[in-house]
Amino acid sequence: MKTDLVRIGNSRGIRIPKPIIEQCGFRDTVELSIENNRLVISPHRRPREGWEEAFRKIAGVQKDELLLPGPNDFNNEEWEW
């Protein structure tokens, strides 16, 4: 789709058609980034959004084990502060 840049004060902007806004899930705030010399507009997401659901999903599938082995020499050394 081709669109013109619109003057907004000293800046420029684009108008995004409603069907594209809905398809992309845009709300009031979006994330802008540059990838390979292209402007990428993504829906704004809160930090760690979706993590709780992902944790619940994986908890039902995998065993709840430590990723690192138990006590080791590093943990058993005496520490001075």
pLDDT tens per residue across span 5-16 = 999 999 999 999
Does residue 52 have a pLDDT over 70? yes
- What is the DSSP secondary structure assignment for residue 54, as one 8-state letter? H
**What does the domain layout of the chain look like in residue ranges?**
6-62
Report which of 33, 34, 57 is spatially closest to residue 43, judged by C-alpha positions: 33
Residue 70: the pLDDT is 67
Six-digit token string for 6? 């619109």
Grade residue 67 by pLDDT with cuts at 50, 70 and 90: low
Separation of alpha carbons 28 and 31, rounded Å: 11
Strand stretches in the chain, DSSP E: 6-8, 11-13, 30-35, 38-43
